[in-house]
Amino acid sequence: MKALLTLTGATYKEIIRDRMSLFWFLAFPVLFVLLFGAIFSNTASHTFHVGVAGGDGTVVGEAVRVALRQVPVFSLSAGTREAELEALRLGKRSLVIDLPDDSMVVSGQPLAVALYYDQGQQAMNQVLISSVSQVLHEIERQLTGRPTLFQIRVEAVQAQDLKAMDILLPNILAMALMQLGLFGSLRLVSLRERKILKRLGATPLPRSWLVGSEVVVRLTIGLIQALVLVGIAKLVFGVVITGHWLWVMSMVLLGAVVFVAMGYMLVAFAKTEESGLAILQVFQFPMMFLSGIFFPVDRLPSFLQPVIKAIPLTYLADALRQMMTGVAPLYPLTTNIAVLVAWLGVSLVLSVRLFRWE
Amino acid sequence: MDAIMVSGLTKVYGSLRAVDGIGFSVARGEVFGMLGPNGAGKTTTTEILAGLRHRDSGDVRVLGLDPGRAGNVLKTRISIQLQSAALYPRLTVLETVRLFASFYPDSLNPVIVLEQVGLRSSTRVLTSKLSGGQLQRLAIATSLVGNGELLFLDEPTTGLDPQARRALWQVITGLKDQGKTVFLTTHYMDEAERLCDRVAVVDNGRIIALGAPRALIHDHFRERAVEFADPTGIAANIDLTRLPGVTRMERHHQTVTLYTTEVTATVENLLAKAGGNGSAIDEFNVRQATLEDLFLKLTGRRIRE
């Protein structure tokens, strides 16, 4: 028992004194959160620049301007038709509304209103055009004095306001745990390469204690990593963690264990640290991009879907998202846990069977 | 019962018979040396005895146990220093020895062991910052601290300066005084002669001589060695083996060694011949035969070639 404690202490010292790996495992995810957080928190307070041209001095023109100014996310600017369309071309407007100059309200004769938008911004246009149309219809109803047929009451269905960071934090945490687990396994390869495993093999120290101390140290770093990331997300970006911390930390531990075992399985045959790194990267890159942590994967080609469904990172990220910030789940939590445990089992068996000690 | 018993031990790597049917035994409390050139099979034998390598055939008993099967029962009772000093790079000297001490039930005080190997003043230095000689001494400290009954030291003094070598010889003599058994390999004859109660001289995986160093030399050489540098090539011109008392001659580069049973007669005649011939004889030296001479006699080669 004394050996296990001393060895674990020695392993801590070894890793903490390795500034390079400490940077990759601790500082890098933090930088990631800060960087992405800064980018996404800007888009959250985004305002749409809407240009209005024509209709000066007409009843309709004034009514449209007044109505649009009341929409909080619209920043309104008025100018000549040419100037506003040029601004749209330059990307300074999201939408330009072109009103007729001789807008007389004549019953039964519709007024031609043109909406110009940037074709490159598909998703945003859907929202913009429908909200502008709604404003125009409202003005029409008021001006023509037609009775309202529908009284539409809009209510938020989502329980809480989700910000970009709420999705980003669990994703980055999942990614960090994967990196920690996979690349942490290289230490054992390097110990083997430098014949330290052989030297330890000549002592009465059981191999299981050696691996155990390595894993315990990884898990501790994983927990510290999670605490630091969550702390920054809370303090800097005001992310609210909805799940109970004990469950979240249990999931963090499960995720870390899965990827540690997977790492040992992948590097079992690697002769050198370099070849181990190469093998890990072959698996790590696709996992990172196909797990849905950076962009949605449902539109990727169908032949990739089985791969996406097999990747453990998909399930860890999904579990962390729904547990930490209440993002709508892709899979039930039980499915996430079952897949992760299955990966853990396979990786454990294969790494114990395949790992070469000499 | 003997500490080590080996018979018919064989280990083959591909077409190379690294260890080729060797047999010997080491008594408890004995310092036993394996002496031979690089590639003779010393390290392979050591690692098989310490349970780090499997043998292909033969019988091995270490402290009464088969090292291939005994596992940790045996490993708590023996200590080994491997030839390549492989240690955690970011631990300090003291942390390293403490770590190894924690593996053994009856370990020694790490600070005292570091004192013994002359690293007391470097306890807080990271192992990656140590010189080759210091690293070697640290590796020895990690094997000493386990306080095993039987120590395996694989080329313990390679890479050490003369002062550190002598300090280590003292440590090994001290181990013997405590009643411990030491199995060491070396390619230094003086080390084997000075430290070992018995040596096995090995070459190409076989034992070519086995016994106490003095007895081995005595058995093979009743002669003394008369050695000199021969820049003018007297040995090529005159048949020196015809000098009185000379039994054998060896020439190695410019060095001529005459083995003789009658030192005075040989030297007188040699000097007379050299003087008459006008040859220049230099670095003249009369000594006892050594294990190096024995190796040369048995194999026709020097140990370090």
Which of B75, B86, B91 is nearest residue A10 as measured by Cβ atoms?
B91
Q: Which of residues 84-123 of B touch A (CB under 8 A)?
A: 84, 86-91, 95, 98-100, 102-104
pLDDT at A108 over 80: no
pLDDT reported for residue A13: 93
Residue with the two structure tokens 């945490």 = A173
Interface of A with B in 206-225 (CB under 8 A): 206
pLDDT recorded at residue A128: 75
Q: Which of B75, B102, B146 sits opposite A2 (nearest CB)?
A: B102
Alpha carbon of B153: minimum distance to chain A alpha carbons (Å): 12
What is the predicted pLDDT for the residue at A158? 41
CB contact (8 A) between residue B82 and residue A198:
yes
pLDDT number for residue A156: 40
Report angle CA B53, B57, B60 to the nearest 5 degrees: 65
pLDDT at residue number B160: 86
pLDDT attached to residue A48? 77
What is residue A44's predicted lDDT score, i.e. its pLDDT? Answer: 46
ipTM of the complex: 0.84
Q: For B294, list phi and psi in degrees, rounded to 5.
A: -65, -45
- Contacts with B88 from chain A: Cβ below 8 Å: 10, 14, 196
Q: In chain A, what's the furthest Cα-to-Cα distance?
A: 99
Q: Of B84, B91, B103, which is closest to A14 when you measure between CB atoms?
A: B91
**Contact yes or no for B98 and A13 at CB 8 A:** no
pLDDT for residue A151: 58
Contacts of A207 in chain B (CB under 8 A): none
Mean pLDDT of chain A: 84
Nearest to A195 among B84, B104, B146 (CB): B84
Q: Whose CA is closest to B38, among B187, B141, B184, B168? A: B187
Q: What is the 3-state secondary structure (H, E, C) of chain A?
A: CHHHHHHHHHHHHHHHCCHHHHHHHHHHHHHHHHHHHHHHHHHHCCCEEEEEECCCCCHHHHHHHHHHHCCCCEEEEEECHHHHHHHHHCCCCCEEEECCCCCCCCCCCCCCCEEEECCCCHHHHHHHHHHHHHHHHHHHHHHHCCCCCCCCCCCCCCCCCCCHHHHHHHHHHHHHHHHHHHHHCHHHHHHHHCCHHHHHHCCCCCHHHHHHHHHHHHHHHHHHHHHHHHHHHHHHHCCCCCCCHHHHHHHHHHHHHHHHHHHHHHCCCCCCHHHHHHHHHHHHHHHHHHCCCCCCCCCCCHHHHHHHHHCHHHHHHHHHHHHHHCCCCCCCHHHHHHHHHHHHHHHHHHHHHHCCCC
Count of pairs with CB atoms under 8 A, one residue in A, one in B: 57
pTM listed for this prediction: 0.77
Place A149 in a pLDDT band, splitting at 50, 70 and 90: low
Q: Is residue B70 within 8 angstroms of chain A, CB to CB?
A: no
Quick one: pLDDT band at residue A123, thresholds 50, 70, 90?
low
Between CA B164 and CA B138 the distance in angstroms is: 12
pLDDT category, B197, cuts 50, 70, 90? very high
Closest CA of chain B from A202, distance in Å = 6
pLDDT band at A160 (very low <50, low <70, confident <90, very high): very low
The pLDDT tens digits for B45-93 are 999 999 999 999 999 999 999 998 987 889 999 999 988 768 999 999 9
CB contact under 8 A, B91 and A3: no
Closest residue, chain B, to A203 (C-alpha): B75
CB-based contact (8 Å) between A205 and chain B? Answer: yes
Contacts of B104 in chain A (CB under 8 A): 203-204
**Over 90: is that where the pLDDT of B109 sits?**
yes
Distance (Å, whole) CA A202 – CA B143: 10
pLDDT higher than threshold 80 for residue A146: no
Residue of higher predicted confidence among B51 and A120:
B51
